[in-house]
Amino acid sequence: MRITIVGAGFSGVSLAAALQRVAPDLAHIHLVGAEPGHGGGVAYGQARPEYVLNVRARDLGLAEDAPEDFADWFHLGDRGRSAFLPRQLYGDYLRDRLHAMQHAPGPRLHAVRREVVAIERLERGFAVRLDDGAAIISEQVVLAVGALPPPPLAGVGPRLAVHPSYIGWPWQERAIERIDPDARVLVVGTGLTMADVVATLRQRGHRGRIDALSRHGLLPRRHAEQPLPVAALPPGVLQALAAHDLRELLRRTRALSNLVDWRAAVDALRPHTQAFWQGLPERQRRRFLRHLRPWWEVARHRIAPAVAAHVEALRACGQLRIVAGRLVRAGRADDCVSVLIRPRGASDVRHERYDVLLRATGFNTDVARTTHPLLAQLRESGMLRADAHELGLDTGAALEVLDARGQLVPGLFCLGPLLRGRYWEITAVPELRVAAARLARELVARHQAGEAAARAPSSARACQSQRSPSSRPRPGPGS
């Protein structure tokens, strides 16, 4: 069984580990990803020292059945297991586990540090073409590319887009270091990425004003200092989940948050979220995405207390302002960034001047508009399409990709955040490792079924050849 996993971040490494567990003597695996961040992805492979994880160490194991493996690997005590550790440490953990997998007995896991530029269908399987001209031939291919590059920021003029005063990707090398400590900074986005950027600016001693802009002006909520006991969902909430009734679930959850810490209530919903989303009627999905999505995301995707402290300190002294509104236009003028902002609920626009415009809009899974070279090639060739709500890729129940006509592409699968259209909650380690284990079992089952089908005709021919001598007419006298 030859499998190529495209993407060497958490999803790819987790799937490779799951395949080695369920098929140690069967799977020949190529794990392909570009050199920067190989084995850790952007989130963990290229993280800055001050960036911390948004999940406690005790819940970050690579395998579905070993959630505390990361904490065990780092030899953490009780206090450390409840802490939010630096992301760089988690990248070290993933690379260590990948190294161990490469040297495990049985068929070897091949780590290929190249970029995949195209995938072509063959009569049986696929040709995965790399940026050095080589190709990997595989029966099955899994797209585990993670989040996509951010699309162009609407309203940014062409002069500004290529000017050093515009930072379109805060993770690019030394992007934040180049910001003058007295610079007036506009950050577009108020989510997790903004929080990391603000923490870095404060640690570097930034003195200038920082404005953070988003449609609703919502900030990610703070994690509790200590782990909270898991709340028991009352019958009313369970009934709303089973009935896939969004309005009733919202009402019941609000009532529950009056009895327990709201974070415990949100975390109690987490094991039910995927099934609830899959059974939710399309009309209610659209209503959730239109009205409730921002509120859910700031409550569900929380920031570590240390990062929250940076944000709160800058807000308390007035250096950081959170602005609810929309960026209308931004361009270069008189050695500054000239910006027009429409405040939320207002019809007029406000003019502001900044020294730096920094994009921190965070997570992108918009397959329909992505400039990601591989996904753009597959989209334009008709081998894949966006899901109905443009949250990621359209797939079948077994995570097999659907092409432009809505037909399954046999052998081409997806894993990771691009499955948001199917699962909604599929961006954090606990959900990703469960999906990886499930897909590994599916890949092995598909291969075994194919092998059985291939052997069946041979068995039939063998039986026929055994019967054939007695069925031939015997030669008669005088023959």
pLDDT computed for residue 447 by the predictor: 86
- Please name every residue paired with 338 in a beta bridge, in sequence order, or none if there are none: 331, 353
Question: Nearest Cα to 222, choosing from 315, 294, 309, 318?
Answer: 309
pLDDT digit string (tens) for 352-398? Answer: 999 999 999 978 999 999 999 999 999 999 999 999 999 999 999 99
pLDDT at 443 over 60: yes
pLDDT computed for residue 473 by the predictor: 40
The sign of the torsion formed by the CA atoms of 390, 396, 400, 401 equals negative
What's the topology of domain 2-149+365-451?
FAD/NAD(P)-binding domain (3.50.50)
The confidence band for 474, taking pLDDT boundaries of 50, 70 and 90, is very low
Give percent above pLDDT 90 in the chain.
Answer: 82
H helix intervals, 74-223: 78-81, 87-102, 158-161, 192-203
pLDDT computed for residue 398 by the predictor: 96
pLDDT computed for residue 346 by the predictor: 94
pLDDT at 479 over 70: no
Q: How far apart are CA 82 and CA 226, in angstroms?
A: 7
pLDDT computed for residue 458 by the predictor: 55
Average pLDDT (308-327) is: 97
Q: In 10 A of CB 257, how many CB atoms?
A: 16
H or E stretch covering 17 = helix 10-22
Is the CB of residue 161 less than 8 Å from the CB of residue 357? no
pLDDT computed for residue 1 by the predictor: 87
- Angle 64-195-55 from CA coordinates, rounded to 5°: 20
Q: In 10 A of CB 79, how many CB atoms?
A: 8
Domain extents in the chain: 2-149+365-451, 172-219+303-359, 235-300
Lowest mean pLDDT among 97-106, 139-148, 284-293, 406-415: 97-106
Query: Dihedral through CA 338, CA 205, CA 42, CA 178, nearest 10?
Result: 50
Average pLDDT (292-317) is: 96
Give percent above pLDDT 70 in the chain.
Answer: 94
pLDDT digit string (tens) for 138-154? Answer: 999 999 999 898 888 99
pLDDT computed for residue 263 by the predictor: 95
pLDDT computed for residue 475 by the predictor: 42
pLDDT at 476 over 50: no
Question: Nearest Cα to 399, choosing from 143, 145, 147?
Answer: 143
Question: Would you call 309 helix, strand, or coil by DSSP?
Answer: helix
Mean pLDDT score of the chain, rounded to an integer?
91
Is the CB of residue 257 less than 8 Å from the CB of residue 231? no
pLDDT computed for residue 410 by the predictor: 96
- Alpha carbons within 13 angstroms on the beta-carbon side of residue 10 total 28
Is the CB of residue 213 less than 8 Å from the CB of residue 255? no
pLDDT at 78 over 60: yes
Token pair recorded at residue 307: 């990062």
CATH number for the region 172-219+303-359 comes to 3.50.50.60
Sequential DSSP letters for 341-410? EEETT-SS-EEEEESEEEE-------TTT---HHHHHHHHTTS--B-TTSSSB-B-TTSEEE-TTS-EEE
pLDDT digit string (tens) for 264-280? Answer: 999 999 999 999 999 99
Who has greater pLDDT, 423 or 170?
423
Identical fold for domains 2-149+365-451 and 172-219+303-359, yes or no, is: yes
pLDDT digit string (tens) for 239-258? Answer: 999 999 999 999 999 999 99
> Helices 293-300 & 262-279, crossing angle to 10 degrees?
130
Letter string b/e over residues 219-242, b meaning 16 or more CB atoms within 10 A of that residue's CB: bbbbbeeeebeebebeeebeebbe
Cα distances from 21 to residues 33, 38, 64, 105, in angstroms, run 22, 21, 11, 11
H helix intervals, 148-234: 158-161, 192-203
Q: How far apart are CA 148 and CA 170, in angstroms?
A: 15
Per-residue three-class SS string for 77-106: CHHHHCCCCEHHHHHHHHHHHHHHHHCCCC
Cα distances from 392 to residues 42, 368, 372, 379, 397, in angstroms, run 18, 8, 13, 12, 15
**In the block, which residue shows the tokens 């988690």?**
90
Contacts of 381 (CB under 8 A, 6+ apart): none
pLDDT computed for residue 373 by the predictor: 94
pLDDT computed for residue 469 by the predictor: 44
Phi, psi of 295 (to 5 degrees): -70, -40
Token pair recorded at residue 246: 């969004």
Who has greater pLDDT, 374 or 173?
374
Cα distances from 109 to residues 22, 92, 97, 114, 148, in angstroms, run 14, 18, 12, 15, 25
Token pair recorded at residue 17: 């580990």
